Amino acid sequence: MSTLTTTDPRTGVRTDTDIQATSDAEVAEIVQRALGAAKEIEQRPRPWRADLLDALADALEERREDLVDTAAAETGLTSARLNGELTRTTYQLRLFGEAVRDGGFLEAAIDHAGETPMGPQPDVRRMLVPIGPVAVFGSSNFPFAFSVPGGDTASALAAGNPVIAKAHSAHPLTSRASFEALSEGARRAGAPDGTVGIVYGQAAGSKLVGHPGVAAVGFTGSLGAANHLRAVIEERERPIPFYGELQSVNPLIVAEAALAARGAEIAAGLAGSVTGSGGQLCTKPGIAFLPAGEAADAFAEHLVAAMGAADPGVLLNDRVLSSFREAERELGEAPGVSSLLGATGDGAGDGFSVAPRVLRVPAGELTPDHTVEAFGPLVLLVDYTDTSELLEALEAVPDSLTTTFHADPDDYALVSGLLPRISEAAGRIVFNGYPTGVRVSWAQHHGGPWPATNSFHTSVGITAMRRFLRPLAWQNAPAELLPAELRDDYRGIVRRVDGVLEVPTA
Amino acid sequence: MSTLTTTDPRTGVRTDTDIQATSDAEVAEIVQRALGAAKEIEQRPRPWRADLLDALADALEERREDLVDTAAAETGLTSARLNGELTRTTYQLRLFGEAVRDGGFLEAAIDHAGETPMGPQPDVRRMLVPIGPVAVFGSSNFPFAFSVPGGDTASALAAGNPVIAKAHSAHPLTSRASFEALSEGARRAGAPDGTVGIVYGQAAGSKLVGHPGVAAVGFTGSLGAANHLRAVIEERERPIPFYGELQSVNPLIVAEAALAARGAEIAAGLAGSVTGSGGQLCTKPGIAFLPAGEAADAFAEHLVAAMGAADPGVLLNDRVLSSFREAERELGEAPGVSSLLGATGDGAGDGFSVAPRVLRVPAGELTPDHTVEAFGPLVLLVDYTDTSELLEALEAVPDSLTTTFHADPDDYALVSGLLPRISEAAGRIVFNGYPTGVRVSWAQHHGGPWPATNSFHTSVGITAMRRFLRPLAWQNAPAELLPAELRDDYRGIVRRVDGVLEVPTA
């Protein structure tokens, strides 16, 4: 048995916790309990499941102060940011509760028996059902929103599946405190034992992913860690989906008219988006394209001033720090790059602190060497002389979670020409705003082409549930053996009946 | 360059065709054309895409006689069966056309900007967009329905993607004739060059799957061939989804009251389902569970009589024949198995002909050795003494596309007890019917847990399109830069607006 440690990013001091790594036997036991819970949850009506999500939100709220304090100590993030993140997390749980009550996510459809151009056909009914226990691997940068109580957990539970979280090594105490809150909420809601579980330690995480009882993995983190887990999945007898949210450069494109009209304002907004949370957001704009010229120079000056005045705080842990230092060095040394703010290694002091960086390069010199993700307060400005140069430079940018345009109506022709390419290369296209601060809502999509994610699904918003559901069809089933939602007389959810939309009646 | 051959299954005689294997350079050119077509198709309105699907159906209909004759010569399937299959294929294309006009598959959602419990939030809109060129690998047993013009092709095109089919080595002439019909239909509809493509030969198939321009693979066939292609995908820099429809044993469970009431009728239906199309259907019930006793003995006699009288015809090709012979031998030699009809090797004559087989084993002796898929006219009867023995025996059955119950109201308690387990182990649950003859409709689901398929999606029915679509979100986009379906004033499709269902207005 090994003991987990925790580190204060403000000092770099590492201390032992009282948490032991989970043994293989314990992992197996936890999965067994989850499998038992899965069977029981499936029998409960949807309103109960929605109440469970509300109860989890309540339990987290009740422990808000302790959770935020614990996370602040382990992550170096500010209390303001962590309070906001916890609010987002409980809001998300309740929103999924609404979606569960709504029931549209079941994608229920009924085709009655009858004569068709293909002859007489049987009655066929279909809806989505839960897939089974889901393993959740959260990220270091969102101890609440993408960790033990985050989006993967909320969407998997909403879909009707038990969840087993792997505690993050950079915030084990926060992970445990979050899990205890969830456990308490689940207990109060009368959830079966095993509805939520947690394992500690990397070996336990691998064991979990390899366990035959686990039906899917939700993952937010680095490509390296993802590849390790994907290799474990490859070894399984029965393959399971791995939903990975991995890395993203998030290009931001400023067009000419917008730059002329409000360059200083865009620069100030960009500075906030790049330095917020220490630049440690998967949606941080890491590269910004500007039409070369005097307005771009002025923009750069505004940006440097605003970023120089920002306090990026400390990075989350030593791995994030060393990755940032490496990216900072690589980008600084890439051909044609000039440094407008800071130098590699700046900001080093107690703990994992860094200073904001602004770099600049002409679009004609842009290569993939210039577009590595720097997870921290760094942005690379790229000056483009015309649309074709911009389009060519964009080829050096990896596909991302987001692409952002700052464009005024006079720029729409340019944007229109770029949109087909941008649509292929991003999961969300932002206009005249910033990609950080992902709205939790019905229409949200948080995902993107490889290497941003490895799936066609979102990890934020209501449709995140789709990852943890599978279709099941019933043919000529007696009404009493059908799920309530698929019986003829049920009218509580939207369904497609004989090809025609049937709206719920109140 | 190598020349493709074709074989008459009725004689086993192999002859050269005038088709050459596609070279690597040609594959690259075909993918390039598809990429060009993808950009153009995305700009066209949905009604055009629906018209394209209708035009493809028309073009196939026009060549019906030639297509059926060619396929009959290459597959040994009867003209009646092939005519039905072609009708199913054109019906399916038109049904997808209806779904494209309906537009519900876009899953459009709009969240307007406004105040929320999370503070002011931006406008976010989401819908599904095409993923890009899709490679389609069809099966030997459905030269139309799951081959060049089949379900994967229809759903990928309906989703707005170009398709590149790999011609099946067992029916290259049918593949070419089908492709020519599709090409002609596409041309008439004014589709861009590259909307449909075809490659010939195994090497070209691998090259296609490894090409960076290909966005997904739809596959129907053996686990072995699937594993080969999945290995090619693992080598790609950018991973892509592989939707494989692989193998299935399809257990059928007869309950006591149903057996007593209509054993002979069920036996006759089962015989038809096992021997139809030479037993070469992925949904063929390969194993049937009966409550042990006199009624089961009578059932077995009826089944043997009906199957003995059936003409299973010839198998599709030498690979199917050798697999069937091996499965027939393995099952015949497995512990406790008695043969009620035929012996290994029966039916051998000209070409790839076989004879129907009925085997029997007590449930207490059932192991995974008894549940290998025999792709051909074979069924294994299993006698169970009580529910717990039945449940235990079901553990030896691999998860399948379907599970079938024959049950009367007095049996519902038994069925109810089994349903949680069966729901986990199948994609479709059939009551008092047979799993063969998959209805093409909105509510259909054709898929199942591993090893039946490797994804949570269907390969038959309208939602098959979901495999070839990905979500894209727009944040604060000017109306003129949004797709028509996401503009405020558009009311032609169902959408979710601010969490509330908005039905289309006529």
Give the residue on A whose Cα is nearest the Cα of B414: A481
Query: Considering CB atoms only, which of B87, B431, B480 is closest to A478?
Result: B431
Of the options 2.40.10.220, 3.90.1150.10, 3.30.70.1290, 3.40.309.10, the CATH number for the domain spanning A251-431: 3.40.309.10
Q: What does DSSP assign to residue B467?
A: G
CB contact under 8 A, B445 and A419: no
A354: Cβ–Cβ under 8 A, 6 or more apart, which residues? A278, A312, A314, A315, A321, A324, A325, A346, A347, A348, A376, A377
Q: What is the strand order of the sheet B109-111 is part of?
A: A338-341, A357-362, A378-384, A287-291, A251-254, A400-406, A426-431, B469-475, B124-130, B109-111, B495-497, B500-502
The maximal CA–CA distance of chain A, rounded, in angstroms, is 77
Q: What is d(CA A440, CA A274) in angstroms, rounded to the nearest whole number? A: 21
Digit-coded pLDDT (tens) for B470-503: 999 999 999 999 999 999 999 999 999 999 999 9
3-state SS track over B28-92:
HHHHHHHHHHHHHHHHCCHHHHHHHHHHHHHHHHHCHHHHHHHHHHHHCCCHHHHHHHHHHHHHH
The chain-wide mean pLDDT, for chain A, equals 97
Which H or E run contains A474? strand A469-475
Query: Considering CB atoms only, which of A91, A118, A499 is closest to B87?
Result: A118
CB contact under 8 A, B419 and A503: no
Convert A460-475 to b/e letters by CB count within 10 Å (16 or more is b): bbbbbbbbbbbbbbbb
Which residues of A are less than 8 Å from B406 in CB distance?
none
pLDDT over 90 (residue B349): no
B301: Cβ–Cβ under 8 A, 6 or more apart, which residues? none
CB contact under 8 A, A412 and B469: no
Convert A410-428 to b/e letters by CB count within 10 Å (16 or more is b): ebbebbeebbeebbbbbbb
| Residues of A classed as catalytic | 245, 282
What's the token pair of residue B255? 């309950």
CB contact under 8 A, B431 and A117: no
pLDDT over 70 (residue A255): yes
Give the residue from B90, B240, B439, B459 with the most A CB atoms within 10 Å of its CB, the best one to mutate: B439
Rg of chain B taking only CA atoms, in angstroms: 24
Rg of chain A taking only CA atoms, in angstroms: 24
pLDDT at A311: 87
pLDDT above 70 coverage of chain B, percent: 100
Q: What is the mean pLDDT of residues B136-142?
A: 96
Digit-coded pLDDT (tens) for B207-260: 999 999 999 999 999 989 999 999 999 999 999 999 999 999 999 999 999 999
Q: How many Cα atoms sit within 13 Å of A167 on the Cβ side? A: 29
Instruction: State the nearest Cα–Cα gap between B183 and chain A, in angstroms.
Output: 25
Digit-coded pLDDT (tens) for A91-101: 999 999 999 99
Where exactly does CATH 3.40.309.10 map onto chain B? 251-431
Q: What is d(CA A160, CA A155) in angstroms, rounded to the nearest whole number? A: 9
pLDDT over 90 (residue A312): no
CB contact under 8 A, B415 and A481: yes
Residue A55's CB: how many other CB atoms inside 10 A?
21
Which residues of A are less than 8 Å from B451 in CB distance?
238
Q: What is d(CA A447, CA A146) in angstroms, rounded to the nearest whole number? A: 14
Instruction: State the nearest Cα–Cα gap between A189 and chain B, in angstroms.
Output: 23
CB contact under 8 A, B126 and A472: no
Q: What is d(CA B155, CA B404) in angstroms, rounded to the nearest whole number? A: 27
Q: State the pairing for strand pair B124-130/B469-475.
A: antiparallel
Q: Number of helices and strands (H, E) in chain B?
A: 13, 21
pLDDT at A1: 59
Query: Considering CB atoms only, which of B39, B91, B104 is closest to A420?
Result: B39
pLDDT above 90 coverage of chain B, percent: 97
Q: φ, ψ for residue A125 (rounded to 5)? A: -130, 145
pLDDT over 90 (residue B160): yes
CB contact under 8 A, A445 and B473: yes
- Given pLDDT bands bounded at 50, 70 and 90, which one contains residue B82? very high
pLDDT at A349: 85
Virtual torsion, Cα B449, B450, B455, B460, nearest 10 deg: -60
Q: Which ipTM did the prediction report? A: 0.97
Beta bridge partners of A380: A287, A359
Instruction: State the nearest Cα–Cα gap between A7 and chain B, in angstroms.
Output: 30
CB contact under 8 A, B445 and A122: no
Tally C-beta pairs within 8 A across A and B.
214
Give the residue on A whose Cα is nearest the Cα of B115: A439
Query: Considering CB atoms only, which of B416, B439, B445 is closest to A481?
Result: B416
Give the residue on A whose Cα is nearest the Cα of B402: A473
- Quote the distance between the C-alpha of residue A381 and its chain's center: 26
CB contact under 8 A, B429 and A474: yes
Digit-coded pLDDT (tens) for A38-59: 999 999 999 999 999 999 999 9
pLDDT above 90 coverage of chain A, percent: 97
Query: Considering CB atoms only, which of A125, A439, A470 is closest to B122?
Result: A439
Of the options 2.60.40.790, 3.30.540.10, 3.40.605.10, 1.10.150.120, the CATH number for the domain spanning B24-104+133-246+455-469: 3.40.605.10
| Residues of B classed as catalytic | 245, 282
Query: Considering CB atoms only, which of A124, A428, A503 is closest to B439?
Result: A124
The pTM score is 0.97
Instruction: State the nearest Cα–Cα gap between B155 and chain A, in angstroms.
Output: 16
Q: What is the mean pLDDT of residues A73-90?
A: 97
CB contact under 8 A, A441 and B124: yes
A132: Cβ–Cβ under 8 A, 6 or more apart, which residues? A35, A38, A161, A162, A213, A214, A215, A216, B424
Instruction: State the nearest Cα–Cα gap between A14 and chain B, in angstroms.
Output: 35
**Contact by Cβ (8 Å): B413, B387:** no
Instruction: State the nearest Cα–Cα gap between A80 and chain B, in angstroms.
Output: 14
The reply to whether omega before A162 is within 30° of 0 (cis) is: no
Which residues of B are less than 8 Å from A478 in CB distance?
409, 412, 431
Q: Specify burial of residue B44 (Cβ count, 10 A radius: 0-12, 13-18, 19+).
A: middle
Where exactly does CATH 3.40.605.10 map onto chain A? 24-104+133-246+455-469
**Contact by Cβ (8 Å): A156, A214:** no
Give the residue from A124, A252, A412, A465 with the most B CB atoms within 10 Å of its CB, the best one to mutate: A124
CB contact under 8 A, A427 and B472: yes
The beta-strand segments (E) located in B131-247 are 134-137, 163-166, 196-199, 216-220, 242-245
Digit-coded pLDDT (tens) for A186-230: 999 999 999 999 999 999 999 999 999 999 999 999 989 999 999
Residue B175's CB: how many other CB atoms inside 10 A?
28
Q: What is d(CA A372, CA A451) in angstroms, rounded to the nearest whole number? A: 11
pLDDT at B1: 59
What's the token pair of residue B453? 């398929």
pLDDT over 80 (residue A390): yes
What's the token pair of residue A350? 């107690």
Q: What is d(CA A114, CA A497) in angstroms, rounded to the nearest whole number? A: 13
